Amino acid sequence: MRAAVLGANDGIVSTASLVVGIAAANAGRPELLIAAVAGLVAGAMSMAAGEYVSVSSQADSERADLDREKLEIATDERLEREELRNIYIDRGLDTELAERVAEQLMAHDALGAHARDELGLSETQRARPIQAALASASSFALGALLPVLLVAVAPMDTMIVFVAVSSLVFLGVLGAIAAKAGGASLLTGAVRVTFWGALAMAATAAIGHIFGAVV
C-alpha cells in the first residue's frame, strides 16, 4: 500500500515536472504529449529495473543465508538446536520449555524454524524480484497517467497552471491517503508531498523557461 502510493507519487511528480518544464519552453501539445508519455514509460522502466536489482540482491542474500543454515543443520544439528533454544530463552521462555520447543521444531522443520526465528525470514515476505518490479512500474505508470491525461485536455494557454495545480491537488490527496493508512496526520502527509512536488515543478519550469529562451 505504502509502496504503491509512493510509486504513484513519483509518477505524478516526475511526469508533471517534465511537462511543466517543456511547456515553459513554449512547446506545443504534440511535443508535450510525447514528452509525457515518454516520461511515463522511461520512469516505469527505471522503477522496474531499480526495484528488480535491489530485490534480486536481497533474494540472493536470503538464499545464501538459507544455504548456510541448511549446511549448518546438516553438519552440526546439536549446535543449531542450542542456537534455537537460546533464541527462545531470549524471547522469554524458560530453559526447559525452550529446549522442548527447539527440539520439536528441529524435528518438524529445522530449516523453517531457523529461517523464521534466527534469520527473520517469513514465507509471506520473501523477496520476489519480478513481482516487486511489476508493482513498482505499474504504480509509477498509474501516477504518471494523470499528467498525461491533463496534457491531453488542458487548454494550451493555461497548460502550466492547469497541470501543476491539478497534479498538486492529486499529490495532496495521495499524501493524505498514505498518512491515513500509516496512522499519521493527514495534513502533514498532504503538505509534505505537495511541497516537494511544487518544488520539483518550479525547478523544471525555471529550467524550461531559461532553455526555451536560449535554444
Enumerate binding residues for Zn ion (CB under 5 A): 80, 83, 114, 118
What is the distance of C-alpha 17 from the center of its chain? Answer: 20
Of 31 and 118, nearer to Zn ion (C-beta) is: 118
Of 10 and 80, nearer to Zn ion (C-beta) is: 80
Site of grid cell 527440539:
103
- Smallest separation (angstroms) from Zn ion to the CB of 122: 16
- Smallest separation (angstroms) from Zn ion to the CB of 118: 5
- Smallest separation (angstroms) from Zn ion to the CB of 124: 21
- Smallest separation (angstroms) from Zn ion to the CB of 85: 11
DSSP letter for each residue of 142-159: HHHHHHHHHHHHS-GGGH
State the chain's maximal CA–CA distance in angstroms: 79
- Smallest separation (angstroms) from Zn ion to the CB of 17: 49
| Pick from 127, 110, 161: nearest CA to 55 | 127
Of 2 and 78, nearer to Zn ion (C-beta) is: 78
Other Cβ atoms less than 10 A from the Cβ of 215: the count is: 6
- Smallest separation (angstroms) from Zn ion to the CB of 107: 15
> Three cell numbers at 25?
519552453
Of 31 and 82, nearer to Zn ion (C-beta) is: 82
Of 85 and 114, nearer to Zn ion (C-beta) is: 114
Please identify the residue of the shown chain whose CB is closest to the bound Zn ion.
Answer: 114
> Three cell numbers at 83?
542456537
Contacts of residue 131, defined as CB under 8 A and 6 or more positions apart, other chains included, come to: none
Contacts of residue 156, defined as CB under 8 A and 6 or more positions apart, other chains included, come to: 28, 29
Length of the chain: 215
Of 51 and 80, nearer to Zn ion (C-beta) is: 80
